[in-house]
Homo-oligomer: A and B are copies of this chain.
Amino acid sequence: MDFRFELLYQSKKYRARVGRIHTHHGVIDTPNFVAVGTNAALKSLDSVTVDALGLQLMFCNTYHLMLQPGTEIIRQAGGLHRFMHRTMPIITDSGGFQVFSLMYGTVKDELKSSGQKKGDNLVLNIAEEGVTFRSYRNGDIMLLTPESSVFAQKDLGADIIIPLDELPPYHIDPQKLEASLHRTHRWEERSLNVHLHNKQGQAMYAVVHGGIDPSLRTLSCQFLSRLSFDGFAIGGSLGKTREQMFTMLDHTVRQLPEDKPNHLLGIGDLVSLKPCIAKGIDTFDSSHPTRCARHGLVFTAQGAQKIMAPQHKSYFFPIEKDCACFTCQHYTLAYLHHLFKAHELTGYALATIHNLHFMVRLMERYRQDIIHGNL
């Protein structure tokens, strides 16, 4: 089955839409949430458990897998799906995001820093050829180019791959941002050419950049739309506040081809989801629900609940009474409270299962709401 996007319903009121992405490893209903399994594992769970949750797309990070175990090992294993025993679709990134995060710190840190903050000098050089950096694991000097990133992603064999891009920080002067955008476009085109030479049944999404400059975002959409990408990811800084992000998304999504799927990189907190879906976003990846779970925060219809809150010590009911997840079907919040207090690893797994189930159900509901005009 070749990669294909099927538009099932287009909302009249908003840009929100319901669709289906067809891949070799099955269907991804959109809009949908994409959980992050950085190291070819969703933290604290195994793939059989994750498959059973119905999580249709999973994000793995090429950067981490390049350093450990190395993409060559995963190629020898028969690709990422066989290596981690996942039967459903996978998306990998180019590795660029992590390399540049090393340089600027996390997105949050950089936003707070007024542009002064620099990482641990792990990025040694950015040139036309690619980016040279130092492995955080063993200090090896490595060169990531558009070509090497695609080769790595060919080794991994995910259903959807991403071309190498530069991640400019929020605090950057306009001329540098424009120069970065053009280099990113050249990198993406080089990535695409390598990919088209040996598609291996994979799809490649372009990454739209342009930072917080609407005209550069327009330019990026126009440039990338002319190339034969299978979909569009939205990357780079979208502003300092959620409102700025929504405005920029609105501006960007309306300039993307309607017959191709789009993906919002790295955003998936509960507050942002619905407005982003309304702007026409098809998929989101975020480690937010799984990270929250490991920090003792479980999602409910009444908002996130702290597992360790004192009143949960003797709350002998599931996290949510009507929840059908494995955790709520077998364990009480009082037991989870105890597991977290006792630092038992079991607690992380049970909380993660609940939050992921919550996300899967929430997305199902959003898709229904769009179709029924209730979003």
Bound form: Cα–Cα A78–B332 in Å: 12
Given contacts A331-B85, A334-B77, A339-B39, contact A44 B345 (CB under 8 A): yes
Pick the contact of A341: B69, B332, B349 (CB < 8 A).
B69
Pick the contact of A349: B331, B347, B349 (CB < 8 A).
B349
Q: What chain B residues lie within 8 Å of A350 (beta carbons)?
A: 46
Tell me which residues from 130 to 145 in chain A have a Cβ below 8 Å from any Cβ of chain B.
none
Assess whether A349 is in contact with B345, with CB atoms less than 8 Å apart: yes
Bound form: Cα–Cα A349–B48 in Å: 13
Bound form: Cα–Cα A330–B316 in Å: 34
Pick the contact of A344: B39, B331, B339 (CB < 8 A).
B39
| Minimum CB distance partner of A83 in chain B | B335
Assess whether B39 is in contact with A342, with CB atoms less than 8 Å apart: yes
Bound form: Cα–Cα A217–B349 in Å: 45
Q: How far is the CB of A352 from chain B (nearest CB, A)?
A: 9
Query: A348 contacts the other chain (Cβ, under 8 Å)?
Result: yes
Assess whether B335 is in contact with A84, with CB atoms less than 8 Å apart: yes
Interface string of A341-366 (1 = CB under 8 A from B): 11011111110000000000000000
Assess whether B43 is in contact with A345, with CB atoms less than 8 Å apart: yes
Bound form: Cα–Cα A78–B314 in Å: 11
| Minimum CB distance partner of A294 in chain B | B345
Bound form: Cα–Cα A341–B83 in Å: 15
Bound form: Cα–Cα A41–B344 in Å: 7
Q: What chain B residues lie within 8 Å of A338 (beta carbons)?
A: 39-40, 68-69, 73, 83
Tell me which residues from 21 to 60 in chain A have a Cβ below 8 Å from any Cβ of chain B.
39-48
Assess whether A339 is in contact with B47, with CB atoms less than 8 Å apart: no
Pick the contact of A68: B41, B73, B342, B347 (CB < 8 A).
B342
Q: What chain B residues lie within 8 Å of A78 (beta carbons)?
A: 316
Interface string of A242-256 (1 = CB under 8 A from B): 000000000000000
Query: A288 contacts the other chain (Cβ, under 8 Å)?
Result: no
Bound form: Cα–Cα A27–B331 in Å: 24
| Minimum CB distance partner of A346 in chain B | B41
Assess whether B342 is in contact with A345, with CB atoms less than 8 Å apart: no
Assess whether B314 is in contact with A76, with CB atoms less than 8 Å apart: yes
Pick the contact of A316: B77, B337, B347 (CB < 8 A).
B77
Tell me which residues from 177 to 230 in chain A have a Cβ below 8 Å from any Cβ of chain B.
none
Interface string of A74-99 (1 = CB under 8 A from B): 00111000011100000000000000
Query: A313 contacts the other chain (Cβ, under 8 Å)?
Result: yes
Bound form: Cα–Cα A40–B335 in Å: 9
Bound form: Cα–Cα A338–B45 in Å: 15
Assess whether B335 is in contact with A85, with CB atoms less than 8 Å apart: yes
Bound form: Cα–Cα A76–B313 in Å: 11
Query: A118 contacts the other chain (Cβ, under 8 Å)?
Result: no
Query: A15 contacts the other chain (Cβ, under 8 Å)?
Result: no
Query: A306 contacts the other chain (Cβ, under 8 Å)?
Result: no
Bound form: Cα–Cα A39–B342 in Å: 7
Q: How far is the CB of A294 from chain B (nearest CB, A)?
A: 9
Q: What chain B residues lie within 8 Å of A40 (beta carbons)?
A: 335, 338
- Select the residue from A47, A69, A316, A350 with max chain B CB neighbours within 10 A: A69
Q: What chain B residues lie within 8 Å of A68 (beta carbons)?
A: 338, 341-342
Q: What chain B residues lie within 8 Å of A326 (beta carbons)?
A: 48
Query: A260 contacts the other chain (Cβ, under 8 Å)?
Result: no
| Minimum CB distance partner of A334 in chain B | B77
Assess whether B85 is in contact with A334, with CB atoms less than 8 Å apart: no
For this complex, 9 residue pairs linking A to B, each with C-beta atoms less than 8 Å apart, are A43-B344, A43-B345, A44-B346, A46-B346, A46-B350, A48-B330, A68-B342, A69-B338, A83-B334
